[in-house]
Amino acid sequence: MEPEMEDKTVELMTTSGMESQTLVDELSPKKTLLKHNGPVMGSRKRPSEGNYEKEKEHCIALFDQWSEADQVEFVERLISRMCHYQHGHINSYLKPMLQRDFITALPAQGLDHIAENILSFLDARSLCAAELVCKEWQRVISEGMLWKKLIERMVRTDPLWKGLSERHQWEKYLFKNRTSEIPPNSYYHSLYPKIIQDIETIEANWRCGRHNLQRIQCRSENSKGVYCLQYDDEKIISGLRDNSIKIWDKQTLECLKVLTGHTGSVLCLQYDERVIVTGSSDSTVRVWEVTTGEVLNTLIHHNEAVLHLRFANGLMVTCSKDRSIAVWDMASPTDISLRRVLVGHRAAVNVVDFDDKYIVSASGDRTIKVWSTSTCEFVRTLNGHKRGIACLQYRDRLVVSGSSDNTIRLWDIECGACLRVLEGHEELVRCIRFDNKRIVSGAYDGKIKVWDLQAALDPRAPASTLCLRTLVEHSGRVFRLQFDEFQIISSSHDDTILIWDFLNVSPNGQSEGRSPSRTYTYISR
């Protein structure tokens, strides 16, 4: 646009053939006219005077003839001549014009998948709100099966959701491409609140101690205790004082198999999909084939009872009453070689745990020692317990230990600081496990206690709020336990294995007292 033409147009639009005083009056806030998609903003109307209408039409006609760049430049100059009040009205006028409903616009361009991908990042509350925006948003959510994708995301990232999907069998409708075999989006929309309700019920059962109890009686003539156990969805494997390993069907509670070979009590065990590894008071470590029960290997190294062991990713660590820790390389079940012996404890080493960074051991000498997994070099000692330490678990930076001083301690492994002391058991704390929410401990007082882990890690939380529930069913010392989101399985000197089920609780399940139980007794021959 020619500069002369622009100057004349600006002059025409700003003077309108009126006296300067009239111009000031018309540009004052009281005289300003601004339309907002039809309605007049502020109810301020400019009186029609002189040739305003004709001049306005002439200016618009000239404006329409210019290029977009010239139009922008012209409007910028025009706006620069206005007052702050007018700028505010123009801003209000432009805001809705600049907004874009991209979720509606994308499918119109054949980009439905992008709209679906954007909305797939919403949580449940936001997804509900998005469905109410308009019919097009609702269509994108429905056809994109976004409620299904939300549930799938939760199942992938949360073990509680994953466990529920398996137990309630709605996992069969997940992780499948769009076929006629899967329900519509409405099914998943209605399923989501039911899952939330299930989760809230399970959490309430844990807090209130509501559970169904199943009991396995595993006593035989020479047995006086079940020292160790591990379980999965199909089976429970237990190590007994009568020198045997018994494998139980988790659904029927029947004994499927008895493995014999140790000449002393089976004090510790761990298994995976291929092998069972056991440690015994006969000082040996044995490796068994899971399916056949065949002995694949026997390791003779320790001079006294093997008290605990852990293995993972080709590495095994064992500890013994002989005060030593042995680190083994596991190339295969039949090819296991000793890498290093760690010496430093002044009493029996009762428990070990490890990851890629640290090996952690605890002893009757009242200390926890930390070693480098890669070099097997000593790192530090954690001091605090007043008597020997019987159990611990280590994960990430957290170590949780139980002692014959009747306390549980939480430690930061990196700095060695004791973060919290939990008191409540009346005798030696024999076994302990934790996950992201809870610590579960078992002691020689026959009690199992459930603690709030997150509260325990908060220094402001009162000590009286940390123990959520005490479970009393065992009539003897609790030797070992394992738990997940739905259950605790524990073993005891009373020769029983108890399954505490917090998922399948009968409507009249009671939070206090002894629970109805189903018992299966195995008599060895």
Could you write out the three-class secondary structure of 162-190?
HHHHHHCCCHHHCCCCCCCCCCCHHHHHH
pLDDT for the residue 46 = 57
pLDDT for the residue 218 = 85
pLDDT for the residue 523 = 39
Phi, psi of 86 (to 5 degrees): -65, -35
pLDDT for the residue 36 = 40
Q: Which two tokens stand for residue 4?
A: 């002369």
pLDDT surpasses 50 at 469: yes
Q: pLDDT grade, residue 285 (50/70/90)?
A: very high
- Continuous segment of H or E residues that includes residue 62: helix 52-65
Alpha-carbon gap, residue 384 to 103, rounded angstroms:
59
pLDDT surpasses 80 at 241: yes
pLDDT surpasses 50 at 172: yes
Phi, psi of 276 (to 5 degrees): -110, 130
> Which one is predicted more confidently, 184 or 325?
325
Of 273, 232, 266, nearest to 249 by C-alpha is 232
Which residue shows structure tokens 């992938």? 156
**496-501, strands of its sheet edge to edge:** 478-483, 487-492, 496-501, 212-217, 517-521
pLDDT for the residue 101 = 80
The domains of the chain, with CATH numbers, are 102-207 (1.20.1280.50), 209-501 (2.130.10.10)
pLDDT for the residue 365 = 97
pLDDT surpasses 70 at 196: yes
DSSP type of residue 63: H
Q: What percentage of residues in the chain have a pLDDT greater than 70? A: 86
Alpha-carbon gap, residue 279 to 264, rounded angstroms:
9
> Region 153-158: what's the mean pLDDT?
93
- Continuous segment of H or E residues that includes residue 364: none
Alpha-carbon gap, residue 506 to 319, rounded angstroms:
43
pLDDT for the residue 411 = 98
Q: Coil, strand, or helix at residue 157?
A: helix
Alpha-carbon gap, residue 123 to 25, rounded angstroms:
54
pLDDT surpasses 80 at 508: no
- What is the residue-averaged pLDDT of the chain? 87
Alpha-carbon gap, residue 518 to 332, rounded angstroms:
40
pLDDT for the residue 3 = 56
> Which one is predicted more confidently, 152 or 53?
152
Q: Coil, strand, or helix at residue 214?
A: strand
Question: What sign has the CA pseudo-torsion 132, 134, 137, 142?
Answer: positive
Alpha-carbon gap, residue 116 to 124, rounded angstroms:
15
Q: pLDDT grade, residue 514 (50/70/90)?
A: very low
Q: pLDDT grade, residue 8 (50/70/90)?
A: low
